[in-house]
Structure 1
């Protein structure tokens, strides 16, 4: 029977292949597994609108996840839930702040009610959290524009993303190489075939640029 970490890895590979691919460039196995936990949480949140058709029902499910954050950040994992158990451990070991998680859940609630994407909550905050997992605090500013580029590409605003990319790459010069897998997926075009994505990620990681 597969262990919980491999199950979460499979979940992310299916739900979020771009970030799963970028996580393969994390050399430390524990750090890579911790990163996958973050992405597994996001996969759970993203799947909710595909499971329910009514905004109120989706909001109720997001409210449940928001309530569970209380247990995650108090060290009281919800037993039997692989994502919440793993996240509780990662939050404690990596000293992660709660605010980006609450902002992400709130942004999902807004989306099911037809509000525009909150790029900071959906993309910048999670990318900054991923960097914290890999190298700790103090590097959040260096990836803010990269998070914007990633978000703009995801919502179909590629032309705007191009205008932000130069600033993002200048800021990324200050980012330690060990953290780059947390931002490498911002170099990808969503509709590119997987072999091309692998090449793009390899080249981006070698240069430290998106």
Structure 2
């Protein structure tokens, strides 16, 4: 993060799908909190690809987990823009520490062994992120209402990671296997999101971008905006 780059700028650069979805959050305080959450997700997700060994990765993830635990204990936040933003947010820092804990799995060698392991990982990472965002946007949001959408987007993220040479998917899985599972989750999500408060929908909106990502083509900002606008306006993924 450059000295002149804001947290919002950072998320826009590194996570454009979620950043664009956050533009549909009308409450500016809630939007700022969600951006801080997405910033934390980026910091955690990039650890595994940025270290030369698992020990260094453990040290970095532990730094973030302990930073959240210190906030929970009422200590002053560490001097880091993202930590300070999260300390000022309405998120439960213990939940943020749990999100950090889930990322230790990124440091394991080899792929996840089967579908159950993949879904458990996605639920703990993309799923927890979506639940936290949804509950921040509307405290009445049912965590189950975001499950399918978060899984669809999380599975797509794992496929894109595999295409970049860092696969965690089971060795036997093909693109067709991933597409089939994503479609199944999107089908489940269509029913689930009906019970999601309108204000919380931006938390699941990125799932509307899963299909084009699986086709392996780069979307323009205009196409992303159009797809997200349609999803938010209709409540459909």
Fold match, TM over 0.5?
yes
Quick check: 2:61–2:103 contact (8 Å CA) kept in 1?
yes
Shift of 1:72: 2.0
TM normalised by structure 1 equals 0.88
Shift of 1:170: 0.5
Q: Distance in 2 between matches of 1:144 and 1:75?
A: 31
Counterpart in the other structure of 2:236 = 209
* Counterpart among 132, 139, 144 of residue 141 in structure 1: 144
Q: Distance in 1 between matches of 2:192 and 2:218?
A: 26
Shift of 1:137: 4.3
Q: Any idea what SS the aligned residue of 2:192 has? A: helix
5+ residue gaps, structure 1, are: none
Shift of 1:207: 0.9
Counterpart in the other structure of 2:107 = 112
Alignment RMSD: 2.2
Q: Distance in 2 between matches of 1:70 and 1:61?
A: 14
Quick check: 1:77–1:84 contact (8 Å CA) kept in 2?
no
Counterpart in the other structure of 2:219 = 193
Counterpart in the other structure of 1:38 = 37
Counterpart in the other structure of 1:21 = 20
Shift of 1:42: 0.9
5+ residue gaps, structure 2, are: 113-117, 160-177
Q: Any idea what SS the aligned residue of 2:6 has? A: helix
Quick check: 2:61–2:104 contact (8 Å CA) kept in 1?
yes
Seen in structure 2, the aligned counterparts of structure 1 residues 87 and 7 have a Cα distance that, compared at 3 Å, is: same
Shift of 1:193: 1.0
**Does 172-181 or 63-72 show the bigger shift?**
63-72
TM normalised by structure 2 equals 0.79
Quick check: 1:55–1:112 contact (8 Å CA) kept in 2?
yes
Quick check: 1:75–1:88 contact (8 Å CA) kept in 2?
no
Counterpart in the other structure of 1:124 = 127
Q: Any idea what SS the aligned residue of 2:88 has? A: helix
Number of residue-to-residue matches in the alignment: 204
Quick check: 2:36–2:85 contact (8 Å CA) kept in 1?
yes
**Does 44-53 or 119-128 show the bigger shift?**
44-53
